[in-house]
């Protein structure tokens, strides 16, 4: 079922959903199920599965030269989606990227998803590979998520890359895209970022999931700005509980989001990461309560591969 249909059917009740990462190559699917199992009690209508593009590593050869290697550390997005739908009978939502994909790769990926009975996709640009500063699209690929949304929407209209295909069948994906209450790290301003967000909606996206934020006011202001710009689709807040002291530096650095001073000081005063985890859970519970009271359609949690803190939050809220 489509995300938009889940929202329509919830009759105003806030739904619980979460995102998981495929395991590192070499681990089995049990590690994924072990994380999902305890969360099923809170009846998520769907589970997102992230996509991780290739990385470049350098291996030193005997002659001292370096050999460039391409590795995908977390493959398996599509397989995990199929396994989730099969085991739990809930919708699995794969993330799909511009990065590392040609248009042909994208089309074939979408055909696989359609055959598997997947109804939703989250369309993203992806970040630059680690060895590069700026994102570089494949020669025959997309530069921006809005272009990727257009290709998915074309397929929804039965338009394949080979326009001469006869009797081609249309897909029916509901498309989600990313939004950034504190603006995307490369955007010159929040207004320009929202301008391009609107482009993704115009291209066919039907809902937005936000980057994590730790101050609800940032989300409320963002929604207000989007509505003023004529963006009417659901804007699903994405939440992540802080779990380690190291994240105080890592989160602002990697995601370019601010942490409120009160939260920072509470974490700084913690004796160990067990205490930090508890602070993160309590902060996220307060955020969740306020967002539910404000009537958000869904609370979407970033599990980052671990579910025990998400479970503690869900227990209080759902």
Indicate which single residue of 1, 187, 292, 317 sits in contact with ligand FAD (rule: CB under 6 A): 187
Q: Which letter, b or e, does each residue of 45-70 get, where b requires 16 or more Cβ atoms within 10 Å of its Cβ?
A: bbbbbbbbbeeeeeeeeeeeeeeeee
Name the nearest CA neighbour of 25 among 71, 59, 69.
71
Closest to ligand FAD by CB, 51 or 214: 51
Tell me the number of residues near ligand FAD by CB under 6 A. Answer: 24
Question: Cα–Cα–Cα angle for 77, 79, 83, nearest 5°?
Answer: 115
Indicate which single residue of 88, 144, 220, 318 sits in contact with ligand FAD (rule: CB under 6 A): 144
CB of 128 to ligand FAD, least distance (A): 8
Residues pairing with 93 in the sheet = 48
Could you tell me if 93 and 81 are in contact, meaning their C-beta atoms sit under 8 angstroms apart? yes
Considering the rule CB under 6 A, would residue 149 count as an interface residue with ligand FAD? Answer: no
Indicate which single residue of 120, 146, 150, 309 sits in contact with ligand FAD (rule: CB under 6 A): 146
CB of 124 to ligand FAD, least distance (A): 4
Other CB atoms closer than 10 Å to residue 172's CB: what's the count? Answer: 10
Closest to ligand FAD by CB, 143 or 245: 143
CB of 145 to ligand FAD, least distance (A): 3
Could you tell me if 58 and 13 are in contact, meaning their C-beta atoms sit under 8 angstroms apart? no
Name the nearest CA neighbour of 1 among 206, 217, 299, 265.
206
CB of 51 to ligand FAD, least distance (A): 5
Other CB atoms closer than 10 Å to residue 82's CB: what's the count? Answer: 18
Other CB atoms closer than 10 Å to residue 203's CB: what's the count? Answer: 21
CB of 52 to ligand FAD, least distance (A): 6
Other CB atoms closer than 10 Å to residue 15's CB: what's the count? Answer: 21
Considering the rule CB under 6 A, would residue 196 count as an interface residue with ligand FAD? Answer: yes
Considering the rule CB under 6 A, would residue 22 count as an interface residue with ligand FAD? Answer: no
Closest to ligand FAD by CB, 17 or 211: 211
Burial of residue 188 (number of CB atoms within 10 Å: 0-12, 13-18, 19+): exposed
Considering the rule CB under 6 A, would residue 97 count as an interface residue with ligand FAD? Answer: yes
Would you give the binding string for ligand FAD spanning residues 103-142, x where CB under 6 A is met?
-------------------x-xxxx---------------
Indicate which single residue of 204, 238, 241, 297 sits in contact with ligand FAD (rule: CB under 6 A): 238
Considering the rule CB under 6 A, would residue 50 count as an interface residue with ligand FAD? Answer: yes
Closest to ligand FAD by CB, 91 or 193: 193
Closest to ligand FAD by CB, 124 or 223: 124
The helix or strand, by DSSP H or E, that contains position 49, with its residue range, turns out to be: strand 46-49
Would you give the binding string for ligand FAD spanning residues 200-219, x where CB under 6 A is met?
x--------x-x--------
The residues, any chain, with a CB within 8 Å of residue 7's CB and separated by 6 or more, are 15, 207, 234, 297, 298
Closest to ligand FAD by CB, 137 or 275: 137
Could you tell me if 130 and 99 are in contact, meaning their C-beta atoms sit under 8 angstroms apart? no
Residues at the interface with ligand FAD (CB under 6 A): 50-51, 53, 95, 97, 122, 124-127, 144-146, 178, 184, 186-187, 192-193, 196, 200, 209, 211, 238
């Amino acid at each position: 079922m489509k995300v938009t249909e889940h929202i329509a059917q919830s009759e105003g009740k806030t739904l619980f959903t979460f995102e998981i990462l495929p395991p590192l190559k070499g681990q089995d699917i049990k590690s994924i199920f072990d994380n999902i199992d305890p969360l099923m009690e809170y009846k998520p209508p769907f589970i997102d599965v992230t996509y991780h593009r290739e990385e470049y590593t350098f291996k030193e050869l005997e002659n001292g030269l370096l050999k460039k290697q391409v590795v995908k550390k977390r493959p398996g997005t599509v397989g995990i989606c199929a396994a989730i739908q099969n085991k739990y009978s809930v919708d699995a939502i794969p993330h799909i990227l511009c990065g590392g994909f040609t248009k042909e790769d994208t089309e074939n990926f979408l055909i696989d998803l359609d055959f598997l009975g997947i109804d939703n996709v989250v369309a993203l640009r992806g970040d630059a590979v680690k060895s590069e500063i700026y994102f570089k699209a494949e020669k025959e690929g997309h530069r921006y998520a809005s272009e990727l949304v257009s290709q998915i929407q074309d397929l929804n209209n039965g338009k394949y890359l080979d326009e001469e295909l006869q009797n081609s069948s249309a897909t029916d994906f509901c498309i989600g895209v990313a939004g950034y209450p504190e603006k995307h790290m490369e955007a010159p301003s929040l207004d320009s970022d929202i301008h391009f967000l609107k482009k993704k909606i115009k291209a066919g996206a039907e809902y937005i999931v936000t980057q994590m934020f730790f101050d609800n006011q940032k989300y409320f202001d963002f929604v207000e700005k989007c509505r003023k710009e004529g963006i009417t689709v659901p804007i699903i807040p994405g939440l992540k509980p802080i779990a380690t002291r190291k994240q105080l530096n890592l989160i602002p650095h990697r995601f370019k989001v601010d942490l409120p001073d009160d939260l920072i000081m509470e974490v700084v005063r913690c004796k160990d990461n067990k205490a930090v985890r508890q602070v993160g859970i309590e902060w996220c519970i307060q955020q969740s309560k306020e967002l539910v009271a404000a009537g958000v359609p869904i609370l979407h949690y970033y599990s980052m591969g671990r579910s025990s803190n998400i479970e503690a939050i869900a227990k209080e809220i759902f």
